[in-house]
Amino acid sequence: MDSGRVVVVTGGGSGIGRATALRFAQEGDSVVVADVNEAGGMGVVDEISQNGGTSFFEHVDVANDESISELVRRVRDRCGAASVLVNSAGILQNPTRLVDLDIEEHDRIWAVNYRGTFMCCRKFVPDMIELGEGAIVNISSTSAARVFPLLAYSPSKTAIDQLTKILSADLGPDGIRVNAVLPGYVRSEQMQLRIDQGFRDEAKMKEQSALQRMVEPSEIAQGICFLCSSAAKAITGSILPIDAGYLSSTSYQLYAGWTKS
């Protein structure tokens, strides 16, 4: 059944998480928007309610283990055990050299992006095992597959890819599927801010992608919903690029033997 599920979206108050929460709600699921940003999360809940969907906001800081435990308890009490978890809470990083890297920022990125994803899986999975089913989607990045000057962000995403594959093997026998989406350059609030501040070049991002454009948050959401649906019931341990052809095109453009006319 692809509706009527209890779905938790961390980072659901903005960007990819927001679009994902809206999409699951459209499909008839009860969506828990879990975010450290209460105003953003409440805004998404209001949007879902106005469209006739069912949604709740729960505060969580995924970098805090007790906060995640509290989230699991509150979700269970409010609407029953979650069978779908989307780990979209995450923070981006601006490019830097090793010698200039702020170690506090490094540790915060690992705490939110990797450890937050890991701990949410750790704490939501026991309920899924009891249900005998579950679907988890993590959020990777092109920076997991390329060499970028993002010394904390990029390795944190590579680690998420590996975690996704390990958990798919670990939890498959329990009926739980674990996949990841690998977004290209997505026009989320966080990304738009970086474009406006001059940390990302929009023209370059478009030029590097085969389809010559950025990806919309709703397009990532569709991929996430697919991976959690019964149409994907044989898919686990996969990392699905939704990148407007960024990975293929950047590799293609590097080929030394031919110049595009």
Q: Which residues are catalytic?
A: 153
Please, what is the minimum distance in Å from the beta carbon of residue 160 to ligand NAD? 8
Please, what is the minimum distance in Å from the beta carbon of residue 260 to ligand NAD? 25
Contacting residues toward ligand NAD, per CB under 6 A = 10-11, 13-17, 35-37, 40, 60-63, 88-92, 112-113, 116, 139, 141, 183, 185-186, 188-191
Residue with Cβ nearer ligand NAD (155 or 175)? 155
Please, what is the minimum distance in Å from the beta carbon of residue 9 to ligand NAD? 10
- The backbone region for 209, taken as left when phi is positive above 0, alpha when psi lies in -120 to 50, beta otherwise, is beta
Residue with Cβ nearer ligand NAD (81 or 91)? 91
Residue with Cβ nearer ligand NAD (10 or 209)? 10
C-alpha radius of gyration, the chain, whole number: 18
Closest by CA position to 179, among listed 112, 93, 87, 101: 87
- Contact of 28 with 12, CB cutoff 8 Å: no
Beta strands in 187-256 (DSSP E): 239-242
The one-character DSSP state at 165 is: H
Residue with Cβ nearer ligand NAD (4 or 142)? 142
Please, what is the minimum distance in Å from the beta carbon of residue 188 to ligand NAD? 3
What are the Cα distances from residue 12, in Å, to 49, 60, 92, 144, 244?
15, 11, 16, 22, 23
Rounded Cα distance between 214 and 249, Å, is 13
